[in-house]
Amino acid sequence: MPQTIQPAVVGATGYAGFELARLLARHPHAKKPVLFTRNGEGGSPAKLDELYPHVSGNGGYPLVPFDWESVRAQGVDVLFLATPHEVSREWVPEAMEQGVHVIDLSGAWRLGTPEYRAIYDFKDDNPALADKLTAQAVYGIPELHRDELKEAALVANAGCYATSIILALAPLVRAGLVDLDHGVVCDSKSGVSGAGKQPTQKTHFVEVAENLSAYSVFNHRHTGEILEQLGLLPEQLIFTPHLLPIPRGILSTIYVRLNSTMTADAIESCMKKFYSASPWVRVFPAGKLPQIQYSLHTNYCDVGFTLAQDGKRLVIVSCLDNLVKGAAGQAVQNMNVVFGWNEEEGLR
């Protein structure tokens, strides 16, 4: 594998895109990232540090208008798309034709099931090619798809809510310990940055401050990811997202019933064994629950649980930073796996 690569980011002026540019700039195996802007993005500054002084110095971070000729001229090895879903859906076929690795932070290529993907209402110019690329895309949670990622040309970075729920449930669901017919209830809360940088009435300070609101009940875009990755049927899952009046962070509280009576030690052992080779998942001791503040500005997903006295009712709590493990950090972690590096590189 190459010792150094040339990464490029489209969408570095957004919250997740900026976090990604910041992480890549300090990665030991990455050259200084090329930062592209899309045509029609009005008001973009000439350099990223004009918008985010956090990264001033080091010669600045120029923002370059995107075109495929520039991608070739810059020798880009991996293209990160922090772009709207429909943009990624349009651009990835050309990137594959150019032989460039793509790690897409949008939902454009995450879903293989047509009825789940229908929520995006994509209008593909070449449906057959889109179906082929959908089949080739690897869902970007390294803890679940490490081996497939090693051969991936197209990585569909997982959604932030989906990551928090899937990582919390995967060990128990895959071990057959959860009574799926009883149903799984996921109550998730996210900071406002999860809605993106473009302001809306719902993310206006006056609407968010001193408030807590549920939204997209039964039709959130991440629902299909949870169903696909955990092998659940729609009727086995209730997922309700909420908007927290904080900038960043996700806390998911998940309620399940177990198939048989278990001990807390057995639950903890199952989770720790499942993630024994996964440095970015921290399993807390039984009865100790994660909090958003523990994982902020890190690539950790923290998972804890409390088991009822009857040994069958279980509450799992998971926390992560929606801009890091829920987006940019996970994208870098995926890049590390694709190029054969340690998953921790550039993320400590």
Catalytic residue selected from 160, 186, 301, 319: 160
Question: Which 8-state DSSP code applies to residue 219?
Answer: T
Alpha carbon separation from 295 to 130, 144, 303, 322 (Å, rounded): 36, 20, 11, 10
Quick check: is 160 catalytic? yes
CA Rg, the chain, in Å? 20
Helix H or strand E encompassing 148:
helix 142-149
List beta partners, residue 65.
Answer: 37
Helix H or strand E encompassing 229:
helix 223-230
User: What is the DSSP annotation of 53-81?
Assistant: GGG--TT--BEEE--HHHHHHTT-SEEEE
> Exposed, middle or buried: residue 276 (CB in 10 Å: 0-12, 13-18, 19+)?
exposed
Contact 326, 164 (CB under 8 A): yes
User: What is the DSSP annotation of 270-284?
Assistant: HHHHHTTT-TTEEEP
Rounded Cα distance between 214 and 341, Å, is: 40
Rounded Cα distance between 235 and 82, Å, is: 32
| Residue whose structure tokens are 């009857």 | 310
User: What is the DSSP annotation of 14-36?
Assistant: SHHHHHHHHHHHT-TTBPSPEEE
Pairing relationship of beta strands 154-157 and 237-243 according to DSSP bridges: unpaired
> What are the residue numbers of the active site?
160
